[in-house]
Structure 1
Amino acid sequence: MKGTCHCGAVELEVELLHGLTDASRCDCSFCRRKGTIGVTARLNDLRVVRGEDNLTLYRWGTKTARHWFCRTCGIHTHHQRRSNPEEYGVNAGILEGVNPCDLGDVPWSDGVNHPSDR
């Protein structure tokens, strides 16, 4: 699949591990503010086609998760997960042909009580 930020400066190609069937939201302090719906890709299955130099990285807390944003339009494109650093969570809203409203009732994961915090 192809994904782009809002301004088009960043373009990704991604093969999703489970398609859109594992779409989820997280209620941690960061994700609930960001508000994206995430889908899964393995690290080797995501490639930045254009605009890698336009991505900015945000890390906080344990610094395990790595969140990338377009530095021009601010759209979150993907993040390397803390729960599984071998995976990316890809913002479903950047994917060509995907309207997150069409995904129905998307489940929430408990990021407030993250397993890595125990």
Structure 2
Amino acid sequence: MTTHQGSCHCGRVSFEFDGDVGIAIECNCSICRRKGALWHGTDDAHFRLLSGESDLGVYRFGTQTASHYFCTTCGVSPFSHPRIAPAAWVVNLRCVDDVDLSKLKVFPFDGQNWEAAAQQFLKARAG
């Protein structure tokens, strides 16, 4: 298993996670589309915040379920707790140092129609 490191733009917030990265989720909801994020999921056991906890802001909207973290200095959003799995993490692969984005298999997630997309996503993962 590979350990990947990432950060916000200014470097105050840094993190690492363990796992193989070959796929990403691209969500078209109102916030993810504006961020241009490519998400990769992980869990607490494989995610570590290395620095900058006090530099993090959090943004919640809509159902108030997801927690979108951002650096209060540079504004970059390196990771979130997603609405579909609020106890898990998703890291923005655009903030990870060693990932070749051109080699990722990118799966769309229709966040504009979240309820139907979530049901379809969870069904696909289960079987």
Instruction: Normalising by structure 2, report the TM-score.
Output: 0.81
TM-score by length of 1: 0.87
Instruction: Decide which structure has the larger Cα Rg and report it.
Output: 2
Aligned mates of 1:72, 1:101 — CA distance in 2: 29
User: Root-mean-square deviation (CA), in Å?
Assistant: 1.9
Instruction: Report deviation, 1:97.
Output: 1.3
* Residue 27 of structure 1: aligned partner: 28
Q: Percent identical across equivalent pairs?
A: 37
Is 1:9 the counterpart of 2:12 in the alignment? yes
Cα deviation digits, residues 40-62 of structure 1 (max 9, x gap)? 11133212111111111000010
**Contact 1:27–1:112, Cα closer than 8 Å, also in 2:** yes
Q: For structure 1, list consecutive stretches of 5 or more residues without a partner in the other structure.
A: none
User: Which amino acid is 1:72 matched to?
Assistant: T
3-state SS of the aligned residue for 2:34? helix
- Separation of aligned partners in 1, 2:74 and 2:60: 19
Counterpart residue number, 2:80: 79
Moved over 4 A (4+): none
Ranges in structure 2 where 5+ consecutive residues have no aligned partner = 120-127
Aligned to 2:112: 112
Give, in whole Å, the separation in 2 of the partners of 1:75 and 1:56.
10
Aligned length in residues: 115
